[in-house]
């Protein structure tokens, strides 16, 4: 089952036009649809039959027998994914609704129970001799198509536990990490912030941090700090428990670092991530430090405060962009690259595949959920009409287009590693930005667009690598004992000054702002994938600008590959190699070049 790709920089309404909401009927017509019960009943029986037919027998199946086994496993994965996609998407629409929360919990419990007997599959595959498997692949082309799945499973072979322990870990997951994830989600969605005489949720309050009115930004920042502070003990408990649970499992598995599991699932070598991290940290002075010093001057401030980080520029319009204009902007940018890209994006607008309005209880942020390979993705936004919201739309539609193209690989091979999952989304943003820049009616508008893009790139690259460093420090410190909220706050602040630079002062209470970032809870060490994706796309875009005549074809081929190829193989047609440290410098050079252009405008 694939999972939604949550994104970091979505905004938290006005006369924006008719904002679309999801039509989930392509999954199931309703929570009590007979088809949903039918599929749940089928799943229970199919899992039991699969275990009865195959447990203890994988090594003797032969090539055709293993192919039949894989196809049955894939169908089980697809049906489970369809059920959880429907129930999960309903839940994200209103996480504070008791009926939806119960449906989500009950479905997780039941499907976990049904699928526990399947844990043997990966364990037995990893006990088959390499020569035997290679012989099967050589003799059966249909089975050989699934070789990347077997390769991925076998990466875990050194860290595999006994069959009994693996089944136990799978079985108890609903009262472990999944339960703490749910507690975090429901707490975040239920937080109330008081601004003047208005009570609002997190998304709308975060939105005030990018308001033109500095006093309004400060009020929002201080209210965020107050509410986070009131809840910080609970958030510290969530982080302590999840990081300790991870440490215990990692120790039993013999994983050398807390990051190892993420690198394995991303199919990326630790040294590649380390090269990315070091390149970004070394570039802080010429990226974020330099940009925020420029911004400090534009804002006319002696010192920047944290509530100024996402402030609009003084010359920036506070015009809200209606939904129709946002749709036209993104689709025309996509079509300018290749009409096929716009064609793939169009049904999201026409067929109820986007949920855009801000609503009470709705999950914050934005994501693209691929659902299952025989349906289609769904995109969630919290659209408020800001220019960054248009870029978020472009970003999530990029994910959606990627997921549609990769679906041709089938359920087991469609899912893309996180490091490559950001490729089409960031590329879609870049296409939209370049179109807006080309059409800018004045130097002032060009400056605003450039500055906005630099800020987004800093949020995507600098901020996410700082987040990654925070997580590395958090998990390392937790190994030495329980962390108090103050301990976690100190770790958080240790990366803030380093990454943001000397232009900033940090208000009292900012040390709690780690508490609302969902990635730390849902997907430990996920965040470096944003920087990976941005750097990769910047390098890709440079190749596109150089005029490679076959670029569009190569690009679509890369997206269609889904999870069937390694990043080295996917980038080779473009003459790129992420294991080369110069690769990352090339991507960071694009950001630095934009800042050069902004500095030149000051002359």
**Residue 295's CATH number:** 1.10.1370.20
Would you state the pLDDT for residue 11? 40
Any domain includes 237: yes
123 and 184 together in one domain: no
Any domain includes 282: yes
90 and 199 together in one domain: no
Any domain includes 347: no
Any domain includes 152: yes
151 and 231 together in one domain: no
CA torsion, points 592, 594, 595, 596, in degrees to nearest 10? 90
Would you state the pLDDT for residue 443? 87
257 and 283 together in one domain: yes
| CATH code for the domain in which residue 159 is found | 1.20.140.70
110 and 214 together in one domain: no
Nearest CA to 399 out of 440, 427, 365 is that of 427
Would you state the pLDDT for residue 172? 83
Would you state the pLDDT for residue 176? 86
CA angle 415, 431, 316 (to 5 degrees): 120
Say how many C-beta atoms besides its own lie within 10 A of residue 70's C-beta: 20
Token duo for residue 537: 């796309």
Residue ranges, the chain, pLDDT below 50:
1-3, 5-6, 8-13
Dihedral angle sign, alpha carbons of residues 438, 440, 445, 448: negative
Q: Reduced to 3 states, what is the DSSP secondary structure of residue 565?
A: coil
pLDDT 10s digits, 172-187: 888 889 899 999 999 9
CA torsion, points 396, 397, 399, 404, in degrees to nearest 10? 150
167 and 239 together in one domain: no
* C-alpha–C-alpha distance, residues 299 and 314, integer Å: 6
166 and 202 together in one domain: no
Q: Answer with the one of 500, 522, 544 that is the final residue of a domain.
A: 522
Range of the domain at 221: 180-315+461-522
**DSSP codes of every residue in 320-386:** PPPHHHHHHHHHHHHHHH-HHHHHHHHHHHHTT-EE-S--TTPPSSEEEE---TTS--EEE------
Q: Answer with the one of 499, 522, 545 that is the final residue of a domain.
A: 522
Any domain includes 369: no
Q: Phi and psi dihedrals of 198, rounded to 5? A: -110, 135
Would you state the pLDDT for residue 603? 58
104 and 185 together in one domain: no
Residue corresponding to tokens 């499907």: 111
For 32, 365, 529, 537, the CA distances from 533, given in Å and listed in that order, are 40, 19, 6, 6
Sort residue 77 into left (φ over 0), alpha (ψ -120 to 50) or beta: alpha
* Number of structural domains the chain divides into: 2
Token duo for residue 552: 């569009």
Any domain includes 557: no
Any domain includes 259: yes
275 and 192 together in one domain: yes
Question: CB–CB of 50/73 below 8 Å?
Answer: yes
306 and 191 together in one domain: yes
91 and 71 together in one domain: yes
523 DSSP 8-state letter:
S
pLDDT 10s digits, 282-322: 999 999 999 999 999 999 999 999 999 999 888 777 778 99
The burial of 583, by beta-carbon neighbours within 10 Å (0-12 exposed, 13-18 middle, 19 or more buried), is given as buried
For 140, 186, 376, 450, the CA distances from 351, given in Å and listed in that order, are 40, 29, 11, 33
Token duo for residue 530: 């944003």
* C-alpha–C-alpha distance, residues 222 and 465, integer Å: 25
* C-alpha–C-alpha distance, residues 352 and 368, integer Å: 13
Dihedral angle sign, alpha carbons of residues 160, 162, 166, 168: negative
Quote the strand ranges of 445-591, DSSP E.
504-505
Question: CB–CB of 419/268 below 8 Å?
Answer: yes
Residue 550: in which H helix or E strand, if any?
Answer: none
29 DSSP 8-state letter:
S
278 and 200 together in one domain: yes
Q: Answer with the one of 157, 175, 193 that is the final residue of a domain.
A: 175
Any domain includes 383: no
């Amino acid at each position: 089952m694939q999972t939604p790709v949550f994104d970091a920089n979505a905004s938290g309404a006005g006369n924006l036009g008719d904002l679309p909401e999801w039509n989930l009927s392509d999954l199931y017509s309703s929570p009590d649809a007979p088809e949903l019960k039918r599929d749940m009943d089928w799943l229970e029986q199919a899992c039991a039959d699969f275990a009865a037919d195959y447990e203890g027998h994988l090594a003797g199946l032969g090539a055709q027998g293993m192919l039949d086994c894989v196809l049955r496993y894939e169908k089980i994965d697809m049906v489970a994914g369809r059920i959880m996609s429907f129930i999960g998407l309903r839940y994200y629409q209103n996480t504070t609704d008791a009926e939806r929360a119960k449906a989500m919990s009950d479905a997780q419990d039941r499907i976990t129970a049904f699928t526990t007997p399947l844990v043997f599959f990966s364990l037995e595959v990893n006990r088959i001799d390499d020569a035997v498997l290679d012989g099967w692949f050589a003799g059966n082309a249909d089975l050989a198509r699934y070789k990347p799945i077997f390769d991925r499973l076998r990466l875990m072979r050194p860290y595999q536990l006994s069959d009994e322990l693996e089944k136990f870990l799978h079985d108890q997951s609903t009262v472990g990490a999944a339960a703490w994830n749910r507690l975090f989600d429901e707490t975040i969605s239920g937080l109330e912030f008081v601004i003047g005489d208005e009570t609002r949720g997190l998304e709308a309050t975060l939105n005030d941090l990018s308001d033109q009115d500095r006093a309004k930004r400060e009020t929002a920042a201080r209210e965020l700090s107050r509410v986070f502070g009131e809840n910080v003990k609970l958030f510290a408990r969530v982080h302590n428990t999840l990081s300790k649970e991870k440490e215990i499992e990692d120790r039993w598995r013999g994983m050398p670092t807390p990051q190892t599991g993420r690198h394995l699932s991303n199919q990326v070598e630790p040294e590649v991530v380390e090269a990315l991290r070091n390149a970004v940290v070394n570039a802080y002075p010429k990226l974020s430090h330099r940009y925020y010093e420029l911004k400090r001057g534009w804002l006319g401030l002696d010192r920047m405060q944290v509530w100024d980080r996402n402030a609009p520029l003084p010359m920036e319009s506070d015009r809200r962009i209606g939904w129709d204009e946002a749709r036209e902007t993104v689709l025309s940018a996509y079509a300018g690259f290749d009409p096929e890209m716009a064609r793939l994006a169009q049904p999201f607008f026409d067929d109820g595949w986007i949920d855009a309005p801000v609503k009470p209880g709705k999950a914050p942020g934005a994501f693209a959920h691929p659902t299952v390979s025989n349906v289609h993705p769904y995109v969630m936004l919290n659209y408020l009409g800001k220019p960054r919201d248009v870029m978020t739309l472009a970003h999530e539609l990029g994910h959606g287009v990627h997921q549609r193209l990769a679906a041709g690989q089938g359920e087991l091979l469609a899912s893309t590693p996180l490091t490559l999952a950001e490729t089409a989304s960031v590329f879609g943003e870049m296409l939209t930005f370049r179109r807006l820049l080309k059409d800018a009616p004045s130097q002032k508008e060009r400056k605003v667009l450039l500055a906005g893009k630099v800020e987004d790139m800093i949020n995507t690259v600098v901020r996410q690598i700082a987040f990654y460093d925070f997580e590395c420090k958090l998990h390392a410190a937790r190994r030495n004992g329980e962390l108090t909220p103050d301990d976690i706050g100190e770790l958080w602040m240790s990366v803030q000054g380093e990454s943001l630079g000397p232009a900033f002062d940090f208000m009292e209470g900012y040390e709690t702002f780690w508490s609302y970032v969902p990635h730390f809870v849902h997907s430990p060490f996920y965040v470096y994938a944003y920087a990976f994706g941005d750097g990769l796309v910047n390098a890709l875009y440079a190749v596109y600008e150089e005029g490679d005549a076959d670029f569009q074809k190569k690009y679509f081929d890369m997206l269609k590959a889904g999870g069937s190829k390694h990043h080295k193989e996917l980038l080779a047609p473009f003459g790129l190699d992420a294991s080369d440290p110069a690769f990352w410098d090339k991507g960071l050079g694009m950001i630095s070049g934009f800042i050069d252009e902004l500095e030149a405008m000051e002359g």
